[in-house]
Amino acid sequence: MNANEPLAERLRPKTLEDYVSQEHLVGKNGTLIQHIKQGLIPSMIFWGPPGIGKTTLANIIANQSGRPFYTLSAISSGVKDVREVIDKAKNSGGLFTTKNPILFIDEIHRFSKSQQDSLLQAVEKGWVTLIGATTENPSFEVISALLSRCQVYILNAFDKDDLETLLKRAISEDEYISKKNITLKETKALLRLSGGDARKLLNIFELIVNSFGTNDVVITDDVVLQKVQNNAVRYDKTGEQHYDIISAFIKSIRGSDPNGAVYWLARMIEGGEDVKFIARRMLISASEDIGNANPTALVIANNTFQAVTTIGYPESRIILSQCATYLACSPKSNAAYMAIGKAQQLVKQTGDLSVPLEIRNAPTKLMKDLGYGDNYKYAHNYENNFANQEFLPDEIKNIKLYDPGNNARENAHRTFLKDRWKDKYGY
């Protein structure tokens, strides 16, 4: 073992028995565990935040299934690199063995369309089993043809117990750390600074332990904050800083502060943040935080996403700034966001309630004979294009899910709804 290796690398699990968390995938009843035990590994994509074991799990799967293992990083690899690895994989396995090689691609969301296209035939023909890792939603970042050939598995962030288990393992099992007399009195600061990233947690922990210059180490929250500050620890854009700054950015928009919004936007731009990530978060905010108070916000945010996807840096900074300041200056409403939340909770509570007969579709004679669509009132045949009829199942009729916000546009919605429905929903 090399002392110059970071602690997180030295402690990287080699077997499923040592692997921490992700019980829903590799626990006793996990969805992946039987595949791994039987060696029947599908092409798959691991989706989750940084430092939660995506690469480690890929390595374990390859080792436990006894397959050749090839790895590429989407940051530094091109189409030529992909084709070279696929050629090697074909020669070491492929059609004439069930042990076809595993190709692991880290940060697969950074691959361009042409790079992803170069994987299709190899996955389709079974020359390789692809395992991709991504911190971004694969629905947006992975081409549909490749996505349809892969299973997507979500890896959850580590919880407090998981992270503390890793710290205790480092203290007791690491060849170098275990030689010190370490008292771990408090962990709150360590866990907060790690942002749920196990790799970052262990590397910060090692930095702090080594900073004592003695074998007697007592770790408290105050010590952690002092040591980290004194050593000017830098966090890359894929870790805590990534999530903290995007949080500050969105909260500035939500709080109607264009100055805060454009400052945090500049921090992300200077850090090289993906323009699509920034634009996508504004697209969500336009609906979640502004909604029907200003429906144009969603149009502008969507156009921004399309524009920056085409243009890229450096010009995209201007478009992003225009959108961010517009959203910050828009009236705010989360009424639509709250409405769908209430509706989903109601569905979970009440189950699959029957659609009222009068608003069912009736494409066949049998359905018409059964009363589908009977007594349906076609709204356009009535005054003001409105007919008073029930659209909810009987069991939940009269429940109000959408409550318009207190702003000019949604107050108009409230007046409109009260005029139509009178006191039925309490508008």
Percent pLDDT > 70 in the chain is 94
Rounded to whole angstroms, how far apart are CA atoms 66 and 37?
11
Q: What is the mean pLDDT of residues 251-275?
A: 89
Helix ranges (H only) for 93-220 are 113-125, 138-141, 144-147, 160-173, 188-194, 198-211
Rounded to whole angstroms, how far apart are CA atoms 85 and 129?
12
Q: Taking each helix axis from N to C terminus, what angle separates 275-285 and 240-254, rounded to the nearest 10 degrees? A: 40
Rounded to whole angstroms, how far apart are CA atoms 417 and 423?
10
**Where residue 150 falls among pLDDT bands split at 50, 70, 90?**
very high
pLDDT confidence of residue 167: 93
Q: Which fold has domain 240-328?
A: Zinc Finger, Delta Prime; domain 3 (1.20.272)
Q: What is the DSSP letter of 229?
A: H
Q: What is the mean pLDDT of residues 259-269?
A: 90
Q: What is the mean pLDDT of residues 289-311?
A: 93
pLDDT confidence of residue 278: 93
User: Given a cut of 50, is residue 233 above it in pLDDT?
Assistant: no
Cα-based distances in Å from 387 to 53, 378, 416: 56, 7, 14
Percent pLDDT > 90 in the chain is 31
Tens-digit pLDDT profile for residues 358-386: 888 877 877 777 788 888 888 888 888 88
Q: Which fold has domain 348-421?
A: post-AAA+ oligomerization domain-like (1.10.3710)
In the chain, ranges of CATH 1.10.8 domains: 160-230
**Where residue 317 falls among pLDDT bands split at 50, 70, 90?**
very high
pLDDT confidence of residue 249: 93
Rounded to whole angstroms, how far apart are CA atoms 269 and 274?
8
In the chain, ranges of CATH 3.40.50.300 domains: 22-154
Closest among 303, 266, 267 to 283, alpha carbons compared? 303
> CA Rg, the chain, in Å?
27
Helix ranges (H only) for 93-159 are 113-125, 138-141, 144-147
User: Given a cut of 90, is residue 320 above it in pLDDT?
Assistant: yes
Q: Which fold has domain 22-154?
A: Rossmann fold (3.40.50)
pLDDT confidence of residue 255: 92
Pair of tokens at residue 103: 């190709």
Instruction: Decide which of 81 and 338 is more confident.
Output: 338
pLDDT confidence of residue 3: 58
pLDDT confidence of residue 241: 62
Among the ranges 38-42, 75-79, 106-110, 286-290, which has the highest mean pLDDT value?
A: 286-290
Amino acid 337 reads Y
Buried b / exposed e across 143-179, counting CB within 10 Å, b at 16+?
A: beebbeebeebebebbeeebbbebbebbbeebeebee
Q: How far apart are the first and last CA of the chain?
A: 69
In the chain, ranges of CATH 1.20.272.10 domains: 240-328
pLDDT confidence of residue 93: 52
pLDDT confidence of residue 235: 38
Instruction: Decide which of 90 and 291 is more confident.
Output: 291
Phi, psi of 102 (to 5 degrees): -100, 130
Contacts of residue 417, defined as CB under 8 A and 6 or more positions apart, other chains included, come to 404, 425, 427
Q: Model pTM? A: 0.58
Amino acid 423 reads D
pLDDT confidence of residue 245: 85
pLDDT confidence of residue 331: 92
Rounded to whole angstroms, how far apart are CA atoms 149 and 125?
11
Q: Which CATH number does 160-230 carry? A: 1.10.8
User: Given a cut of 80, is residue 237 above it in pLDDT?
Assistant: no
Tens-digit pLDDT profile for residues 187-214: 988 988 887 888 889 989 998 998 887 8
